[in-house]
Chain A
């Protein structure tokens, strides 16, 4: 079993290396797409298979005995002893299964999607590399190895966002993603270092940390918990580090589906759940996380409601749903948060892949207001996307209903009424902007025709269908808190609701969603028009709260001016100026001395007389002294 667990991580890296080297060697493009696709697809398929085998193993064992695989000692310096060691407990098992299963489907989809791209081999090298990094992040048994995976998924994300590298703005988006993520990682690494120094000598595996933190002061733990969350803000696109996610849509659509919806962006939620034992000691930080999540959810929903790029709508929606997950894990309902992460992966991947299908069919058109009536032309895409949309708007019995319901109700039951109101408002907006998308793309302009539609291959359609089945059904896993009990995370206790209250809440959420759908239909059902920035508040939403401009002014311009200042003033004027004074003084002295040696006999005669007289006087004194 240990060998299987190691293989799960090693295989994707191995195939990424093979693909990458093949691509670099194959400069004449002799290797066929089939060659690359075979290697690229075999790996996630095997990994999925392995993960199912391991899942079976894990679910039969008691929840507190994880499976370990020790590969080698990574670092051993002083007390800093880090092993390359993997841990599979129920939490990581869920993540491994999810990442590899959804990952496989997206790989299949990508083979269809990327078929005509000249960077086909490179794309799958990156894709497999991402898969390996994500799995490393998930199964790491200590936070340092987790951090390695954490950084590597960021690198994969950078490479894939900038995949179409001839367009400079895509690279700008990729840079932005990496840099903003590194800002988060800056917090993460500080948190880990402080935690390590505080626990020095007690080991640094998750279970060792769990035992070790009992002796730590609450202020240290709060500091560590808050800064770990800064890392999560970056990776999971929460306020204020979310700015990279909408731009990240510059990458190919399968990338958006896999990395920027289903897996990587959820790493922050996973991390908080993984450190649940720590956050349970510091509930006030947890509350802070929940509020950040709630505001991110609301803000993203507002921006999505005014966006017209189909992928960016989904990007904001991802940020918004991540916000829900943070409400859950922040309030200590880790099981609920991970459950939403789980269901979200299905319907959000599906939404992106559906959007990608539409984009491909329409020759890379992404503006929803240039679409309409597509339900007659792309029926399969329409049905599957509709299922995903029903899931995200939490209409029963689709998956999102169960998971989102659990979160919203948890906020209510723990008496966080502000959070509850924000969550409910966001749910309304979610229904509104998602059905706005559905109506505008698939229903409106019912006479519109598409003579040049590109037909969609099986590789693109089949994964949609599988995910649609998932989006419709995986919610049932959550009935009676089944999912949360299974993952067995250290959830904080919640007051049990009365039956009346429970049913009331359960009915309330879908009603809110229906309200949102109705509004969307009224505005966009038949003859949709894009929103104009005619009143200030709308302008605020359409311009994304002006945050990008603010960051640009605050950081980018400042750093550039500072850089020029260092070059032109500090170096050239101050330091070299000072050195110039030294050398200049030396030179002046030289010039003065040179003037003594002017070549006229008269001057030299003067020196001679002058010095001879001086010497004579000196001689007289010396002789007298004797």
Chain B
């Protein structure tokens, strides 16, 4: 049991290296990668079944790595990280199925590395380890956009890497400073989260340190003002990468804030709270309006992602139980819905070679199944009742009104935000008469339906029976929230 997490973490890496050394054929590669992603999913399910809802951090494993500087291989899971782990474990097999026809081997290697990096970020309890995975998950993205992307892919790959690395550098400096302070005050080096959380700083230093972390996460999310890498990166990325970017990577920014920001810097984050909330509120409105006139499906939903990420971050910073539960719930349900929509944009792109909205239309009349699934995911993103997004937005809005009346009003605008562009997008993509590129549009195949159906079912279950999932992390959230509020007081 103890090594289950390590297996989840290293299986994709191991597969990637073995396959790479033996230079296997593409057929073998796709079978083995798909198999390994199923294994990881199985492990993740096993972990979940042994998971104790009341138990806090579990499956902890800690062994010394670079002992001189107190850097440890330290991993563990609590309910929130387990949720993220399940998301990535579930999505990877679907992504591998979606790229089944792909002939370029690099796709598979990079995705394996990406999965390992993301799992590492989710599990790491040591800040250096965390940083290592945090950066390493960027590399496959960079390579994939640069080599297999579309449009101005080189420029856009550079843009995403420069902007995000700029943020992580500031975080690295802060991490090293934390470790060094531990050395000077306690007497030995340590980067263990639980140790560093004990350190006390004067208010100026801690505000600076918190700011350094915040910058890294704000760029990753991205909050308003740090977002200009987002739309270009989305539009240049291959489908598989967009799915991961939107469904998982963006959420890791929020996760980082929750795990490290809120554990290390309870009080100084309070200093930033009004500004972050302001940026989130601007983001909700700005991204939604921005999306209206976009012409490329990926860019439209990139901005939609941005708006929802702002809402999730807003939920986190309002620090009451409604907003936190809602934020976490949205994190999960938006991951599923946006994975669905981007997978479908990929399927659409394979059929039409064109995702410019002006060239689409009429799909509903010749491919009703495609239209159904596409409309379902789009509506799930707008938070239609019956899908998980509604529950999440409802909780966040209630939490926002508890926090402050006007914050509540702007948060409620999220109900208007998404519909501004989604319905127009649906109209021009699915309805009306067919055009040149959609004239011979084939409906979804059985495999494609197989990929999308689990996502639909999850969205429906989370929408109709929200208690199932909410109760699962309720204990974790309440404990952390109390701890946090205790810290602030």
A residues sitting closer than 8 Å to B (CB atoms) are 20, 23-24, 27, 72-78, 80, 122, 144, 147-148, 151-152, 155, 162, 165-168, 171-172, 174-175, 178-179, 182-183, 185-186, 189-190, 193-194, 196-197, 200, 559-560, 562-564, 566-567, 570-571, 575-576, 579, 583
Contact = CB atoms under 8 A, between A and B. Distances in A.
Interface string B390-432: 1100110110111001001100110110011001101100111
A73 B467 contact: yes
B434 to A, nearest CB: 9
A185 B412 CA distance: 10
In this complex, the interface size class of chain B, counting residues with CB under 8 Å from chain A, is 35 or more
Interface stretch (B21-29, B96-104, B288-296): B288-296
B379 interface: yes
Contacts of A147: 385
A27 B431 contact: no
B6 to A, nearest CB: 34
Given A182-B415, A197-B401, A571-B228, A76 B467 contact: yes
B157 to A, nearest CB: 15
Nearest to B292: A563
B372 interface: yes
Given A80-B322, A168-B432, A197 B398 contact: yes
Interface stretch (B130-138, B242-250, B361-369): B361-369
Given A165-B365, A171-B432, 7 more contacts: A24-B369, A72-B467, A74-B467, A179-B419, A559-B420, A560-B293, A571-B231
B230 to A, nearest CB: 10
B470 interface: yes
Given A144-B394, A562-B289, A190 B430 contact: no
Contacts of A74: 465-467
Contacts of B290: 563, 566-567, 571
B294 to A, nearest CB: 7
B286 interface: yes
B365 A166 contact: yes
Nearest to B444: A24
Q: Among A77, A166, A168, A171, find the residue whose CB has the most chain B CB atoms closer than 10 A.
A: A77
A162 B424 CA distance: 13
Contact of A77 (B292, B364, B395): B395
17 contacts: A77-B321, A78-B321, A78-B325, A80-B398, A144-B394, A151-B384, A162-B431, A165-B364, A165-B365, A183-B416, A189-B394, A197-B398, A197-B402, A563-B289, A563-B292, A563-B294, A575-B225
Given A190-B409, A567-B290, A185 B415 contact: yes
B465 A72 contact: yes
Contact of B291 (A168, A182, A563): A563
B413 A186 contact: yes
A200 B403 CA distance: 13
B362 A193 contact: no
Contacts of A166: 362, 365, 431-433
A563 B385 contact: no
A75 B466 contact: yes
B461 to A, nearest CB: 13
A563 B426 CA distance: 18
A171 B431 contact: yes
Interface of B: 162-163, 225, 227-228, 231, 286, 289-294, 320-322, 325, 362, 364-365, 368-369, 372, 379, 384-386, 390-391, 394-395, 397-398, 400-402, 405, 408-409, 412-413, 415-416, 419-420, 423-424, 426-427, 430-433, 443, 465-467, 470-471, 474
A52 B243 CA distance: 51
Dominant SS among interface residues on chain B? helix
B286 A566 contact: yes
A186 B427 contact: no
Contacts of B386: 148, 152
Contacts of B413: 186
A152 B379 CA distance: 11
A178 B423 contact: yes
Given A75-B395, A165-B431, A567-B294, A148 B289 contact: no
Contacts of A567: 290, 293-294
Contact of B390 (A148, A194, A564, A583): A148
Given A27-B443, A190-B412, A172 B291 contact: no
A314 to B, nearest CB: 26
B324 to A, nearest CB: 9
Contact of B325 (A77, A151, A174, A563): A77
Nearest to B367: A27
A186 B419 contact: no
Contacts of A583: 162
Nearest to A189: B412
Nearest to B408: A193
Nearest to A24: B369
Q: Among A24, A167, A196, find the residue whose CB has the most chain B CB atoms closer than 10 A.
A: A24
A175 B427 contact: yes
B379 A75 contact: no
Nearest to A192: B398
A208 to B, nearest CB: 16
A552 B122 CA distance: 47
Contact of B379 (A155, A182, A196, A571): A155
Contact of A193 (B163, B225, B401, B465): B401
A182 B228 CA distance: 30
Contacts of B426: 171
B419 A560 contact: no
Nearest to B420: A559
B467 A560 contact: no
Nearest to B321: A78
B415 A186 contact: yes
Nearest to B364: A165
A148 B426 CA distance: 22
A566 B412 contact: no
A75 B362 contact: no
Contact of B228 (A155, A194, A575): A575
A441 to B, nearest CB: 32
Contacts of A174: 423
A189 B432 contact: no
A566 B162 CA distance: 23
A193 B397 contact: yes
A296 to B, nearest CB: 23
B294 A193 contact: no
A168 B395 contact: no
